[in-house]
Amino acid sequence: MKTDPELRYKTLISKLQQRGSRLTSHRIALARLISVSEGHPNASQLFKKLRIQFPSVSLATIYKTLALLKAEGEVLEIDLHGDSRYDGANPFPHPHLICECCGMILDGDEIKSIGELNNEIESKYGFQITRPQQIFYGLCKDCRASIDKKG
């Protein structure tokens, strides 16, 4: 459920403007990078890509800008034990399926029972969910297939 990169970019920029943040060249470039990103890059990967175009950019700026966009709810942080990944292409909370074999991170979009789960939690515990983080570790289709082949 990846939204249109151009729309994403415009949203990110306008969110920064709305909150009164300044549009520096590095922020604009990061917003663009996040909008077109397909995977789930970490701060270091975004830094390396951005540095090609802006050799003077620093990792600290990446973290600071990501924190800004995270606070605006425009970037999701996937918390992987000391290697946070950022999902800025799809701003809607969704499960992430992480293959323990190949490391791939798959977006679990269009899972119907998520809504039901949320309802059940909210009604059963009176808990108001603001930010779900659902990570499913396991084996992806391809890795299962290659394991089956071997044994």
Residues that bind DNA in the complex, under the rule CB under 7 A: 21-27, 42-44, 54, 56-61, 63-65, 67, 82-84
Q: Of a copy of itself, DNA, none, which one does residue 60 interact with (CB within 5 to 8 Å by kind)?
A: DNA
Judged by CB under 8 A, does residue 116 bind a copy of itself? yes
Q: Residue for token digits 């570790």? A: 137
Q: Of a copy of itself, DNA, none, which one does residue 45 interact with (CB within 5 to 8 Å by kind)?
A: none
CA gyration radius for the chain?
Answer: 17
Nearer to DNA, 60 or 102 (CB): 60
Judged by CB under 8 A, does residue 123 bind a copy of itself? no
Task: Tell me the C-alpha distance between 73 and 91, whole Å.
Answer: 7
- Shortest Å distance, C-beta 99 to a copy of itself: 8
Contacts of 76 (CB under 8 A, 6+ apart): 70, 86, 87, 88, 90, 91, 93
Judged by CB under 8 A, does residue 105 bind a copy of itself? no
Nearer to a copy of itself, 92 or 136 (CB): 136
Residue 76 parent element (H or E): strand 76-78
Burial of 16 (0-12, 13-18, 19+ CB in 10 A): buried
Tokens standing for residue 101: 């074999």
Among 21, 45, 61, 84, binds a copy of itself (CB under 8 A): 84
Nearer to a copy of itself, 131 or 150 (CB): 131
